A and B are shown apart, each in its own frame.
Chain A
């Protein structure tokens, strides 16, 4: 399998953050501490590569909170598969974001 993306530190951080449940763009910025301007370009690229997929939150929920709906990102099966490399190459990050499965709500 050819490489889907070059796994840099920011990319790995974004992926881990999403797996931890920081699924919205601004949340990813807050969780990773990456410069604000870098996060969306990474999200867009990963989405185009099919590692992430974006979706809109339920309109009902947004309306109840009297705000427009937000767009969130989640890992595709392809993205799940590529997590292994992330964990292998950036073990330090894993410590920061915690082990998989310990999602923070």
Chain B
């Protein structure tokens, strides 16, 4: 009878690391044999004893498994890593290229992930941010954005049970006098509940009391940490002191912590928003709304409650005319999680960018995988040696993987380091107003992400040689006596070729993306905004009522300022408007037309409007299509003259001239009509992407609502003969001379304003351009590498061909064709991919379709052209093969 359990020991021994295997097996055999011998001393042992011995021998599997585990834990992998490092140091060129390629891919991904994480993923820096909502409204099926009105605020605050708290806020700028010079400071007007909604507490002092938002309350303010430090020298006894805001002494009651702010950290101070229940109009949408949901409430629940209130407005406010007006525009509530509103359109840009750099990383990995495949071939002998020494499957996997891990780790570390630099660089391109940029930074989460993608890379490209050199196959090949046959070589090429095809395809997808963005940018550039920004500088000037109370005096101030500026040498003309183009929101209202009265069921007529001074249209060179521009004296002297934009005129008088026709704000309430004296060219006032607004330009002193107050804030525009920015000091000086307590804010050239409006598009274009440039470069390296390799492998064959009479051009053609075949396959695959993916980008595009044939065609041709060049170099080498030498080789 043979030894029981011998077979088990034999099987288990295979698990044991080869180094220890023999001794291990002999030990178990020795014990088992001894025990068996003892058992048989007095005749055949009982069944039970035999079974017990068998069971005992069976436990050798546990022993073997633990041995294996120990091996892996202790000596195995670190050893392999050390070995891999030594191996890589012996081929520094390969290591450097691979690591740099990976660092590029990983660094780009880390940088973009940092943005995505900071802007999109990380919750807002407030307590229970998931409960925060934005409350807005829209009218006319979403065509009008109507934020919040005081009346609706009071109503919601009182009636909506699914809201824990609701607040209004509005940004403001005030003239602050803390030292000698007045300063224009950004702040926010907020209801006291603003701090409750965000659950934020001042670090010093208190937040606003409910009575401080009542009319007639004492003027109080809360400072930001930044303003407290900058303007008040971190005065620890600041509470209770006063500061001059817009000419009013305002008591400081609190200081907020450093990182506080919504929607960004720009506001430097907060003052109470006065809600006067007696004048809380439902339809005056002048503030933004945020709210905190009650525990257990849902966005849909809140929306449902608001909608049912809106439907009951007429019964809730029977006295007011507002419900009828709101019903006529089809007022609807818009409730959205706060983070979605805050991030808005940017999320598309960021996801597209992340996808883009993800592609770059894949291409980088494909390149490294290709390099590793070549390297694996040169390491055959080493591999054979290991196999001969009894290396198992696991050891071979580790043999390949250890090098990948070292490469990925180095690439990852370098990438992480360079990513913070990349973020710094990309900050230069990131448009102003990009949300949450203050929160963006490299932290543990980002580093964890980097670690994860590095690991994924290592596994990804480490697997390629394994797929290729399955250990069994390799072992059999070696037994065959080495020498790769023709078929083996073809299989090997197939994998590398596939990698190159995929690389080219991915590069094409990115190039198409970048191409589409470039075309959008071109279209924006080519777009005529309707005005000429060249040589124009702009700055905002505000006259606080505490400084000049009387409307007539205010009008006189503007007139004086204009005259003083016009008197300067180099000034061509001076314009003033409530808002310069692309410089912020402008008023939007219903208007009446004398010759087109509206019935009760008719849709109201809406138009944007603003007050401009007579020089405005001239200064921006906005063309007059018909009639005349506003002139001095219009408005003020009882001449009720307005200019309308071309689109407004065309909309309402498609077949006749609007000159002499009458428009009005609210004639039923006793407002007089205004006479149209001119038609101005259309202007892209709010955004370049949207259609030009239908505009009415009023003279400065009085708007369409006959408000007795004059316009207090104007964007001053100066057209100059020289360099426009040099006129900012001139403006400052003249203003000082008129009234030293009135500062200017936001001085910029109009060219800067225009560039800023294009910034999101140019940012996306720059980023996609950079990414696809890298992708293209990596793809070309891949093509070059593969073709070079093929040429070196086929040297002998080429030699034979040339000996048989093939000419150099024929050989060149053959090699280039081979490269071209890969590229064309990649391009076809890439076109399909780009077609499928580019719809994601549709919202980022302007003036170009996501399927733009010019972009697709142009990019494909360009890619084919440069790829052909990449295979040209190895082709030249092939054509230079000396047949006699090639044939003698190997």
User: Which residues in A have some Cβ–Cβ distance to B below 8 Å?
Assistant: 24-26, 29, 36-37, 40-41, 44, 48, 54, 62, 65-71
Contacts and interface: CB of A to CB of B under 8 A. Distances in A.
A97 B263 CA distance: 77
A25 B62 contact: no
B30 A67 contact: yes
Contacts of A41: 62-63, 66
Contacts of B37: 65-67
Given A67-B37, A68-B29, 16 more contacts: A24-B34, A26-B56, A29-B56, A36-B56, A36-B59, A37-B63, A40-B63, A41-B62, A44-B66, A44-B70, A67-B33, A68-B33, A69-B30, A70-B31, A71-B27, A71-B31
A40 B60 contact: yes
A40 B37 CA distance: 21
23 contacts: A24-B31, A24-B34, A26-B31, A26-B35, A29-B56, A36-B59, A37-B63, A40-B60, A40-B62, A41-B66, A44-B63, A44-B67, A62-B30, A67-B30, A67-B34, A68-B26, A68-B30, A69-B30, A70-B31, A71-B23, A71-B27, A71-B30, A71-B31
A70 B63 contact: no
Interface residues of B, number: 19
Interface string B47-68: 0000000011001101100110
Contacts of B59: 36-37, 40
Contacts of A26: 31, 34-35, 56
* Interface secondary structure of B, over-half rule: helix
A69 B26 CA distance: 8
Contacts of B29: 68
B33, B55, B60, B70 — most chain A CB neighbours (10 Å): B33
A25 B70 contact: no
A41 B60 CA distance: 10
A40 B28 CA distance: 10
A68 B37 CA distance: 11
A60 B630 CA distance: 122
Contacts of B63: 37, 40-41, 44
A48 B75 CA distance: 12
Interface in B33-90: 33-35, 37, 55-56, 59-60, 62-63, 66-67, 70
Contacts of B30: 62, 67-71
Interface in B5-43: 23, 26-27, 29-31, 33-35, 37
B787 to A, nearest CB: 53
Contacts of B23: 71
Given A44-B70, A48-B70, A36 B33 contact: no
B26 A71 contact: yes
Nearest to B31: A26
Nearest to B36: A67
Contacts of B31: 24-26, 70-71
A22 to B, nearest CB: 13
A44 to B, nearest CB: 7
A26 B55 CA distance: 12
B27 A25 contact: yes
A10 to B, nearest CB: 14
Contacts of A70: 27, 30-31, 34
A80 B37 CA distance: 32
Nearest to A35: B59
A78 to B, nearest CB: 19
Contacts of B60: 40
Interface string B726-752: 000000000000000000000000000
Nearest to B67: A44
A26 B56 CA distance: 9
B30, B31, B37, B66 — most chain A CB neighbours (10 Å): B30
Return the 3 tightest CB-CB contacts between A and B, nearest first: A37-B59, A40-B63, A70-B30
B139 to A, nearest CB: 74
A69 B34 CA distance: 9
Nearest to A57: B30
A25, A62, A66 — most chain B CB neighbours (10 Å): A25
A54 B26 CA distance: 13
Contacts of A25: 27, 31
Nearest to B20: A44
Contacts of B67: 44
B27 A37 contact: no
Contacts of B56: 26, 29, 36
B882 to A, nearest CB: 60
B38 to A, nearest CB: 10
B256 to A, nearest CB: 52
A66 B41 CA distance: 13
Contacts of A54: 27
B476 to A, nearest CB: 33
A30 B495 CA distance: 58
Contacts of B33: 67-68
Contacts of B34: 24, 26, 67, 70
A54 B30 CA distance: 14
A41 B67 CA distance: 8
A36 B55 contact: yes
A68 to B, nearest CB: 5
Contacts of B62: 37, 40-41
A50 B327 CA distance: 89
A29 B35 CA distance: 12
Nearest to A68: B30
Interface string B777-803: 000000000000000000000000000
A29 B66 CA distance: 18
Interface string B213-231: 0000000000000000000
Nearest to B74: A48
Nearest to B52: A36
A53 B67 CA distance: 16
A21 B262 CA distance: 78
A5 to B, nearest CB: 14
A17 to B, nearest CB: 15
Interface in B623-644: none
Contacts of A65: 37
B418 to A, nearest CB: 41
Interface string B549-570: 0000000000000000000000
A90 B66 CA distance: 27
